[in-house]
Amino acid sequence: MAMVAVGPDGAFSVNSVGLARAPFPLSFSVRATKGSWLVHATAAQAAELADVLMTVAGDTIVIVGLETNSFLDESYRPWRPSLIAAEQGVGYEAHDVGVLASGVVGLSDEALVIRRDDLPRFLAGWYPYELTMIDVPGAPTAGRLDEIILAVGTAGHDEPILLSLTGSRLFFSGHDDCYVAVESTDPSLPAAIMSRLLALLVGSALVDDSVVDVPDPDVEALESLIEESRHWVGVLGVTTRDAVTVDLHAVPEPWRLGEPPVPARVDRRAVYDITTGGWRLQDPVAPASARPAHPSRDTW
């Protein structure tokens, strides 16, 4: 069972909605198209998903877009990605993108090639408010990198790109250190992302000034949940000394910032037992012990 360390500066803790600063909801949407699964989700920082993304990625990660205020020079200009990698102690190869990135939102002037296993170290301790990356098998040639840059730079909004990049299995785009868009050819990744989002949301209710470790829920139960609906919104429910509840709402369309509050009806409740570290999924109409509606999914 994977664990995630949730700190006071996690995505659900630092993000809020509107002038009233309402807590940021969990949102998850997935669709399948052209051999890929496309996920849109909130709220997660790239570092909070790194180990999950690594499970489906090839040996090499190519970072083609990077913006951050965490590394600025004396003139308040952002560092090049290669300087950040060097500061983080990560081995890299840098590729000058040049005119291929000119005027293209989301692309940097420099593409950074790192080992997949170095991704958590590269992202540790700082925050990219824009991050775009893709995996490749082996060591990419300069021609392959140009091919990737062109594919990413010319892709339409919410359009799959992996079909045109043979061998690549993962594409990630993060925005405002909160919004996540992921494309993968691995059908197991959507449920793994939703599992991590639940752990992060629960962690935000438990953390104070120190880090708290929260286990991810079992992905098999979440795969069944995704079969029921491709679009979910989750908000923190009742929190006690013993448990944290997340109220889950099945919605007809992906959630967007500025939309009305979640529906009054709660379709599922995910309950995290603080003492045992276990999860259970239950219908909201009655305690799990009082009804046998979905016995195979009650305990995770």
Q: Peptide bond before 139: cis, by omega within 30 degrees of 0?
A: no
**Model pTM above 0.75:** yes
| Average pLDDT of the residues of the chain | 89
What is the arithmetic mean of pLDDT over 21-42? 92
pLDDT > 60? residue 291: no
Residue 259 pLDDT: 76
Does residue 159 carry a pLDDT above 50?
yes
Q: What is the pLDDT of residues 199-234, one digit of tens each?
A: 999 999 999 888 999 999 999 989 999 999 999 999
* Model confidence band, residue 289 (pLDDT cutoffs 50, 70, 90): very low
> Across residues 16-37, what is the average pLDDT?
87
Mean pLDDT of 80-104: 87
User: What is the pLDDT confidence band of residue 288, given thresholds at 50, 70 and 90?
Assistant: very low
